[in-house]
Structure 1
Amino acid sequence: MGSLLFIPVIFFFLPLASSISYTEFIYPNFVASNIKFADNGGAFLFSRNKTYKAAIVNPLAKEGSFYFCVTHVPSNTIIWSANRNDPVSSTGNVNISSKGISITDRDGNLRWSTPQLQSAVYALRLTEIGNLVLLDRSNVSLWESFHYPTDTIVVGQSFPVGTVLLSSISSSDLSSSNYSFSVAASDAMLEWYGQIYWKLSMDPNAFINSNAVVEYMILNATGLYLLAHNSSVVVIEVVLPHSDFRIAKLESTGQFTVKSFSSAGWTQEFIGPVDSCQIPFFCGQVGLCNEDSATNSPSCSCPSSFHTVPPSLGGWGCKPIDHSIVLASPCNSSRGGEEIKSAAFSYLSLGYGIEYFAIDFSEPARYGENIPSCQALCSKECSCLGIFYGNTSGSCYMIKDRFGSIRQSSSFVNDLLGYVKVQVGSTPPRFNGEEKHNFPLAALILLPISGFLILLTLYFLWWRRRLFLKRIQIKLGNVSSRASVELDAFFIPGLPRRFSLEELAAATDNFKVQIGSGGFGSVFKGILPDKTVVAVKKITNLGIEGKKEFCTEIAVIGNIHHTNLVKLKGFCAQARERLLVYEYMNRGSLDRTLFGNGPALEWQERYDIAVGTARGLSYLHRGCEHKIIHCDVKPENILLHDSSQAKISDFGLSKLLAPEQSGLFTTMRGTRGYLAPEWLTNSAISEKTDVYSYGMVLLEVVSGRKNCTTRSHDHSLDGSDSSGCQSSSSTGLGLVYFPLFALEMHEQGKYLELADPRLEGRVTYEEVKKLVCIALCCVQEEPALRPSMDTVVSMLEGGIPLSQPRNESLNFLRFYGRRFTEASTIEEGNRNGSVIYSPTNALPSCMSGSNYFFSYMSSQQVSGPR
């Protein structure tokens, strides 16, 4: 109460000492202007430790450009501004009253104010995290600057769904521009005039952990997070190096950045999009953005039939070279004060091989159209300024309201055709030296004749080209194979680079160094001309179904980018050859490292591989536009890069399901030892089949050996046969079905018995227990009891408590263990020549439905392509 009695004394004397800066609190009837606080750089209020200041600043350094801002003092960075779109002169005032904050110009006209408040203001406080807060007498917040962000958020600031950041024109002009950043229910995104051009989930550094509904975004000392369920669930995270102070900002360039500040200055930690050519207006209207590989920086030019608009004419971008035509204007716009009348429109071609940012985030207006009908559709809508036409698919995309920059396609097979809508100007401008002449009579006669001869020549050239192509097709044996020709020109939006067969033959030294093989072909190491090392999968035995799988893999992988998924860099579809070009993983597949004779993987490496694989599968199941079920998760399909970074491969050969189709799956796929029981019971196949396979892989990661193996293995288990497996009479080797052994050790609490003996005590009981419990949860017989991959990631990372498997849902492992021993004994007999083994004569009559043991099937029968 003593402080409450003392405060009114300060209340009366504050206006008399207005040139003095205050700490943390200011009270009503306070007036500040730049002139009064010029000696303090316009600052009149500091936070408790002077980390932030409230000041009237003039970043443009000219009269009439003063803003009321909150500034981070050590870095002199503005984090919030009140009147960003309505600056005042140096004589403008910031007023603190019982009604809130207001800004007036020199004549007393209101330029900005806080909204109407529920009660009278008692104090204005500047917190140590940069939040400007209006308080009532009960210390209840009436208004906070954190609730009205401009272009920046800071550590400790919550950014809820529906809140928007607007970029500034420049560092000196704080007025809001047309780029915005917002958080939606499932992602964070950048937009230009309402058109999306980037999403946080697209960035390889962003990890998708859950499909929960996002509530808000926060920035803290460890990274950037999208959270749900009152902060209990991380939906998307960007992990960053530890820093006590960092900001996230929507830059004037249209890029979203995260930067940390220290005594050494600013360090940029995150930027999206990285490629400047993805920014909608980087090169202005119809400007062509090109990536310069030499300088690794973009440059701007104009398409053919266009030239640069001189800055002196107030434009930015490109306009038609023909001065008699002008770019079409959107609805209700005018040129020179005169409304453009609806007239016959024409279209200027931008040519092939271009991209437009909005197409990646929008559906075509129509499918199966031809170019004239697509143009006619655009002509009917005054908001339409141009079209992009998919020549192969017949997709018609309309560009409405704003036409931004275009970019050169990174794909050699991009068959998008772009057209800009134009009108004939009423009075075409004339330039110096231009004069009006009478049209010669001779020209009236010669021009039609010349036109006819040109058309005749073009027809002859077209006929010659068609004859030449037909001869080539005859040589390739493809005259009657329309599907093969169509596949060579196959196009999907976002398709990666297309290589020629000659390029890949040269890169692989005529396919000399084979580094892997699988059901659909072999994989070779290659080196591109720019010294990039790649893995080239050469697909063989491609039937009609194989062509469909090939196209699906291109469509899926070409549009998926995640740090734990192998990136498809390109493809080749030439004649009958089908090849895929992947990024090269220098440590090969997990099975070689895990089961080979080299140095044993340390526990932390195993743990990192487990987490990375889980994140990749989680993204396939929840993070993609369509649910993707891998169907063949195994160590051979988990590739390793530097620092044991795990990346999942071959997911593009799995089925691509819409949510309503997730229970429909007709073709058995997978590999013996990793197949979930539901494959053999006609039950619905879902993402939980991948969870089962992941659990089996996780057990192998723990033990460092195959789940189905013999005790004579170089690093086998010691001790008695507690797994229930019997010894083969022909070899005397102890057979172990490791999942059953893991269940028994789990029941007895002997988790260290399961760890790879080569670790020699370099792993703790709790560490092994964690992975084994998660693995057993994943391999439960009932799919509904298995956790989602989102949940697996959260358990691995400690975000949620560790679940315990239900033993009754693991009893099937005892049956599998016994049948594994019997099957292995029969196979050993076959190798000795005593009997010809087949799944039919080895199948006991009692084994049907869920009792059918998948190890009787050969991997060639049930394995998908690798």
Structure 2
Amino acid sequence: MQDSGNFVLYDKESNVIWESFDHPTDTILGGQRLTVNMMLISSVSATDRSSGRFYLVMQGDENLVAYPVNRTFTFTAYWASGTYKSIARPDVFLYLDPQKGQLGLRYPNTTGSILVSTISQIPNNGSTVVYRARLNPDGKFVLYSHSFGVSGDVADTVEVVDEWSSLDSLCQNKDYCGLNSYCSMNGSSGSCTCLPGFLPRSDVPGCYPGFTDEHSCQGKDTEVSYEMNVLEHIQWDDGRAYSIINVSLEDCYQSCLKDCNCWGALFGSGNCNKYRLPIMAAVLDPTNSITAFVKSISPGNSSWVPTKPKIVVERKKALALILGLSLGTFALICSLLAIISIFLYRCRAHGYRALSGTANQALNGEYTLRSFSYDELEKATDGFKEILGRNPYGAVYKGNLSEGNKNVAVKTLENVQEGESKFRTEMTAVGRTHHRNLVRLLGFCMEGSRKLLVYEFMSNGSLANFLFKVDNRPPWKERVRIALEVARGILYLHEECESRIIHCNIKPQNILLNDSWTAKISDFGLAKLLMNNQTGTFTGAKGTRGYMAPESENAMLITEKADIYSFGVVLLEIMCCKTMELDVQTGDKTLQFDWAYDCFSTNDLKKLVGDEDVDMKVLERMMKVGLLCLQDDPNLRPAMKNVILMLEGTMNIPEPLYQSN
């Protein structure tokens, strides 16, 4: 342990083999460097030192940026150093001067931008001052100074001073309070309050609806069940409005109340911005003049009157008696029919209730599945007219729900005997998930032998079409982004959802792209759900040859590592824009493992991408990760969390072993 706080391991020849300064957690000390793509990750709390909700990364564009975990898009950043350079230097690093306490950017031989230059007066009594910069659990990046007594003993600590903080107030952190809540500024701190009609979550910051909105877009008179809450001086993320209209304050109120898609609206300068759930980054700021409207359920308290009020008419006693006798006779006949059919019906009814119960559970506290009738879906698809795709178990059709004019994909089950379990598996697996890189299940239909699933519509088709059926290769940066998105979706299935899921059929045809080209994993018909204490399954795993791991074809234990293998195949295909099979029509030498490994081992990776202009360091990194994922031995394949870290360049990548596939 060095005086600087760096813990160093040496080999027998005194060569450094590992040092803690190269692997920061949430803190950097004096003399420590944070190089390009290195991160600080906040702790959960002051007592729980596991990885928390925020991270700080030294980006390649020389900007030091803080993000919420699992979000790397520019608009989700809540703080940046403002040192962006259009022509970046990859040798830039963040450095904390151990003597002066200056925090800034440096290069190997020169000084760059200084972030913090003014510090407290160093005492002149012979005491020692130590500096550290920490990403706190609340997301603040803070520079501290610790003054020790003349002896230098920790027990003689004189003072700990906050020399500088990245945020003046916690409310400047867009993700501090989570979803559907707002942050109230209180000096440098902030307090979180749920929006009206929402309840606090117990597991993470944020709030969930204290109501269900599954019927909000059904019928003409549903507004009688809602009310609008008026909140002054509250504003939230204004980049997510689905509608912006120029109206008065009162008309904005009425417009959101009547709009089944609107759950919040912001009015200012004559503009009314309307939003769906969830509401993000809401802040109470007395200095702004924004008026916010938040819709909530209020049975019987709305000022709106139904256009078709129900009228109860009192009937004569004689008529009531006749109706009573008729209904009694009808009930007796129905009872006899029920007794005759109860044995045949019992099994199906039990299965239906179990499946419907699973389907209608809330997803992540915010979403519920909707039960559709077959007639509704037949109408939505115009008689199942436009087919999007087909497999041995059924077909997928494009549809449009009249409520909100929303496009959907309707998946039908046609091969009942073989597809029944596939339908149940897919519904159970997807019904437990909610992640931006998984296709969202909206609802289902179960009427006798008719079984259908309703998914969000993915307008840009499959990754297979994106990679293999275009004249020009898709942009390199887009392919790298898509690879990371697929990896994050798999990580959620393996480690982050309520029940761990092995997808068992990862391939480009099952990765779909929405209108913003975000990659989403689909088709969970072959998925395996694992219990908390279960490491894998021996049940037969069917998949697509070429993407299946060796253990899947040899009746061995199937674990999450089977998906890692499939991802390795997809990753190589994303890099090369070639399928793993030989094109028998053209004779084109497409992606084959031996050829790919040969390109890697001979340091001739350019063969993989031809004359395309790509970042060769990123290409080499992706190639090594792909080959690691393709190891025959599941134990040699990395976990998906490590795959992501290696792809992002924050973890060293071991050399892959040669595999003869």
TM-score by length of 2: 0.54
- 1:170 and 1:154 mapped to 2: Cα distance? 7
- 1:198 and 1:470 mapped to 2: Cα distance? 53
Contact 2:410/2:454, CA 8 A, preserved across alignment = yes
Task: Report how far residue 710 of structure 1 moved.
Answer: 3.5
Q: Does 1:561 align with 2:434?
A: yes
Q: Secondary structure of the equivalent of 1:773?
A: helix
Q: Does 1:542 align with 2:416?
A: yes
- 2:593 and 2:189 mapped to 1: Cα distance? 63
Q: Kindly tell me: are residues 143 and 636 of structure 1, through their superposed partners in 2, closer, same or farther at Cα, counting changes over 3 Å? A: same
1:749 to 588, 596, 603: 603
- 1:668 and 1:498 mapped to 2: Cα distance? 30
* Residue aligning to 1:516: 389
Task: Report how far residue 518 of structure 1 moved.
Answer: 1.5
Q: Secondary structure of the equivalent of 1:696?
A: helix
* Residue aligning to 1:464: 330
Q: Secondary structure of the equivalent of 1:562?
A: coil
* Residue aligning to 1:432: none
Q: How does 1:15-94 map to 2 (within 5 A)?
A: none
* Residue aligning to 1:636: 509
* Residue aligning to 1:196: 202
* Residue aligning to 2:283: none
Task: Report how far residue 768 of structure 1 moved.
Answer: 2.6
- 1:522 and 1:408 mapped to 2: Cα distance? 41
Q: Secondary structure of the equivalent of 2:410?
A: strand
Q: Kindly tell me: are residues 197 and 679 of structure 1, through their superposed partners in 2, closer, same or farther at Cα, counting changes over 3 Å? A: closer
Once the two structures are superposed, residues 448-499 of structure 1 have per-residue CA deviations (whole angstroms, 9 ceiling, x without a partner) of: xx9xx9999779647636856998999xx99824333445552222250111
Residue ranges of structure 1 left out of the alignment (5+ in a row): 1-120, 122-126, 181-189, 204-252, 256-264, 275-289, 300-404, 410-449, 718-735, 814-866
Once the two structures are superposed, residues 346-372 of structure 1 have per-residue CA deviations (whole angstroms, 9 ceiling, x without a partner) of: xxxxxxxxxxxxxxxxxxxxxxxxxxx
Once the two structures are superposed, residues 824-856 of structure 1 have per-residue CA deviations (whole angstroms, 9 ceiling, x without a partner) of: xxxxxxxxxxxxxxxxxxxxxxxxxxxxxxxxx
Task: Report how far residue 294 of structure 1 moved.
Answer: 4.1
Q: How does 1:90-101 map to 2 (within 5 A)?
A: none
Task: Report how far residue 556 of structure 1 moved.
Answer: 2.7
- Letter of the 1:752 partner, please give it: K
* Residue aligning to 2:453: 580
Q: Does 1:297 align with 2:263?
A: yes
> How many matched pairs?
426
- 1:584 and 1:470 mapped to 2: Cα distance? 46
Q: Secondary structure of the equivalent of 1:642?
A: coil
- 2:401 and 2:445 mapped to 1: Cα distance? 14
Q: Secondary structure of the equivalent of 1:579?
A: strand
Contact 1:568/1:581, CA 8 A, preserved across alignment = yes
Q: Kindly tell me: are residues 294 and 407 of structure 1, through their superposed partners in 2, closer, same or farther at Cα, counting changes over 3 Å? A: closer
Contact 1:512/1:524, CA 8 A, preserved across alignment = yes
Q: Does 1:153 align with 2:170?
A: yes
* Residue aligning to 1:110: none
- 1:458 and 1:271 mapped to 2: Cα distance? 60
Q: Does 1:779 align with 2:630?
A: yes
Contact 1:202/1:561, CA 8 A, preserved across alignment = no
- 2:202 and 2:162 mapped to 1: Cα distance? 27
- 2:515 and 2:183 mapped to 1: Cα distance? 41
- Letter of the 2:506 partner, please give it: V
- 1:750 and 1:134 mapped to 2: Cα distance? 52
- 1:408 and 1:484 mapped to 2: Cα distance? 37
2:565 to 692, 714, 717: 692
Q: Secondary structure of the equivalent of 2:564?
A: helix
* Residue aligning to 1:660: 533
* Residue aligning to 2:642: 791
Contact 1:191/1:197, CA 8 A, preserved across alignment = no
- 2:600 and 2:142 mapped to 1: Cα distance? 52
Task: Report how far residue 501 of structure 1 moved.
Answer: 0.7
Once the two structures are superposed, residues 660-695 of structure 1 have per-residue CA deviations (whole angstroms, 9 ceiling, x without a partner) of: 322323123111111111123332110000000111
Identity among equivalent pairs (%)? 32
Contact 2:183/2:193, CA 8 A, preserved across alignment = no
- Letter of the 1:196 partner, please give it: S
Q: Kindly tell me: are residues 570 and 765 of structure 1, through their superposed partners in 2, closer, same or farther at Cα, counting changes over 3 Å? A: same
Task: Report how far residue 557 of structure 1 moved.
Answer: 1.6
Contact 1:168/1:176, CA 8 A, preserved across alignment = no
- Letter of the 1:537 partner, please give it: K
* Residue aligning to 1:612: 485
Q: Kindly tell me: are residues 764 and 169 of structure 1, through their superposed partners in 2, closer, same or farther at Cα, counting changes over 3 Å? A: closer
- Letter of the 2:559 partner, please give it: S
Q: How does 1:660-679 map to 2 (within 5 A)?
A: 660-679=533-552
Task: Report how far residue 766 of structure 1 moved.
Answer: 2.8
Q: Kindly tell me: are residues 294 and 581 of structure 1, through their superposed partners in 2, closer, same or farther at Cα, counting changes over 3 Å? A: closer
Contact 1:752/1:764, CA 8 A, preserved across alignment = no
- 1:584 and 1:473 mapped to 2: Cα distance? 44
Q: Kindly tell me: are residues 559 and 455 of structure 1, through their superposed partners in 2, closer, same or farther at Cα, counting changes over 3 Å? A: farther
- Letter of the 1:738 partner, please give it: Q
Task: Report how far residue 738 of structure 1 moved.
Answer: 0.7
Contact 1:498/1:571, CA 8 A, preserved across alignment = yes
Contact 1:632/1:671, CA 8 A, preserved across alignment = yes
Q: Kindly tell me: are residues 135 and 541 of structure 1, through their superposed partners in 2, closer, same or farther at Cα, counting changes over 3 Å? A: same
Task: Report how far residue 295 of structure 1 moved.
Answer: 7.1
Q: Kindly tell me: are residues 579 and 798 of structure 1, through their superposed partners in 2, closer, same or farther at Cα, counting changes over 3 Å? A: same
- 1:589 and 1:654 mapped to 2: Cα distance? 19
- 1:129 and 1:694 mapped to 2: Cα distance? 35
- 1:173 and 1:482 mapped to 2: Cα distance? 63
Q: Kindly tell me: are residues 129 and 653 of structure 1, through their superposed partners in 2, closer, same or farther at Cα, counting changes over 3 Å? A: closer
- 1:468 and 1:775 mapped to 2: Cα distance? 63
Contact 1:550/1:653, CA 8 A, preserved across alignment = no
- Letter of the 1:482 partner, please give it: R
Contact 2:536/2:560, CA 8 A, preserved across alignment = no
Q: How does 1:96-107 map to 2 (within 5 A)?
A: none
- 2:489 and 2:413 mapped to 1: Cα distance? 24
- 1:741 and 1:748 mapped to 2: Cα distance? 11
* Residue aligning to 1:863: none
Higher Rg of the two aligned structures: 1
* Residue aligning to 1:343: none
Q: How does 1:253-264 map to 2 (within 5 A)?
A: none
- 2:373 and 2:640 mapped to 1: Cα distance? 38
Residue ranges of structure 2 left out of the alignment (5+ in a row): 1-126, 128-132, 134-139, 151-155, 210-228, 243-255, 266-294, 300-316, 363-367
- 1:573 and 1:535 mapped to 2: Cα distance? 16
- Letter of the 1:767 partner, please give it: V
* Residue aligning to 2:47: none
TM-score by length of 1: 0.42
Q: How does 1:792-831 map to 2 (within 5 A)?
A: 792-807=643-658, 810=659, 812-813=660-661
Contact 2:505/2:544, CA 8 A, preserved across alignment = yes
Task: Report how far residue 600 of structure 1 moved.
Answer: 2.5
Once the two structures are superposed, residues 677-735 of structure 1 have per-residue CA deviations (whole angstroms, 9 ceiling, x without a partner) of: 11233321100000001111112222222212137538x34xxxxxxxxxxxxxxxxxx
- 2:629 and 2:208 mapped to 1: Cα distance? 28
* Residue aligning to 1:766: 617
Contact 1:695/1:779, CA 8 A, preserved across alignment = yes
Q: Kindly tell me: are residues 745 and 197 of structure 1, through their superposed partners in 2, closer, same or farther at Cα, counting changes over 3 Å? A: closer
Task: Report how far residue 198 of structure 1 moved.
Answer: 5.3
- Letter of the 1:575 partner, please give it: G
* Residue aligning to 2:344: 480
Q: Secondary structure of the equivalent of 1:675?
A: coil
- Letter of the 1:612 partner, please give it: E
More deviation, 778-787/593-602: 593-602
Contact 1:696/1:775, CA 8 A, preserved across alignment = yes
Q: Kindly tell me: are residues 683 and 168 of structure 1, through their superposed partners in 2, closer, same or farther at Cα, counting changes over 3 Å? A: closer
